[in-house]
Amino acid sequence: MTTPALSQDELKTLVGQAALQYVVPGEIVGVGTGSTVNKFIDALATIKDQIKGAVSSSVASTERLQALGIQVFDSNEVDKLSVYIDGADEIDGAGNMVKGGGAALTREKIVAAQSTKFVCIADESKLVQTLGKFPLPVEVIPMATQRVIAQFAAKGGKGSIRLKDGKPLVTDNGQYIVDVTGLQITDPLAFEAEVSQWPGVVTVGVFAYQRAQVCLLGTASGVKTLT
């Protein structure tokens, strides 16, 4: 008899639970955003008495953490974090990622930058050779959207404003998201450095400067650790 393959949701649960091994007892942990991180938050709640609390990367994660009785600290109240745990939309073999599918990329990058180690949790569908197949999220100040879209067009990318209920989605920071298709990001560091300097770009969803040091990848044969 063959064992049925695990669903994507079950793989997310597996990696969410596996991430607990990186949580340092007595400390504050950096927490990302998304459906995989939600599994981590649920697992974190089972050891909440062993941690001081969390710094969160979105309103959604903050609400989930608090609902489960985990104290959330403002990032300004906290110095360095030992570990930041978050998902990704794409990750390559070197730990470079595309993030922002949940529109939380700016706060995610801030908390990641505050942390010594980024542990990425993802199911195996997220592992890629080259970043760019997933539409690249870019958080943009509304008045700059058309010019930023034109700058991506000059690079061969097609940008569009992310909508919610027929209107531009507004992020936790009051800005818009432009999603860009058609890119092949072969040099993530150079790409992130360049786009981050375009006027009106708040955050580009390439995480190369804040790449993951560890990736816990949910696969059919269990959790694989990539370092």
Q: CB count, 10 Å around CB of 49?
A: 7
Residue 36 among known ligand-binding residues: yes
In the complex with ligand 5RP, the residue whose CB is nearer, 88 or 138, is: 88
In the complex with ligand 5RP, the residue whose CB is nearer, 105 or 128, is: 105
214 within 8 A of 181, measured Cβ to Cβ = no
In the residue annotation, 108 being an active-site residue is answered as: yes
Residue 32 among known ligand-binding residues: no
- Catalytic residue selected from 63, 77, 108, 192: 108
Q: Which residues contact 147 (CB under 8 A, 6 or more apart)?
A: 199, 200
Part in contact with ligand 5RP (CB under 6 A); list of ranges 47-55, 104-112, 145-153, 158-166: 104-112
In the complex with ligand 5RP, the residue whose CB is nearer, 61 or 145, is: 61
Among 11, 13, 30, 36, interactor with ligand 5RP by CB under 6 A: 36
212 within 8 A of 94, measured Cβ to Cβ = no
- Applying CB under 6 A, does 104 fall inside the site for ligand 5RP? yes
Part in contact with ligand 5RP (CB under 6 A); list of ranges 61-69, 96-104, 145-153, 196-204: 96-104
Distance, CA of 193 to CA of 207 (rounded, Å): 10
Buried b / exposed e over 202-220, threshold 16 CB at 10 Å, is bbbbbbbebbbbbbbbbee
In the complex with ligand 5RP, the residue whose CB is nearer, 113 or 146, is: 113
Distance, CA of 219 to CA of 216 (rounded, Å): 9
Q: Which residues bind ligand 5RP (CB under 6 A)?
A: 32-36, 86-89, 99-105, 108
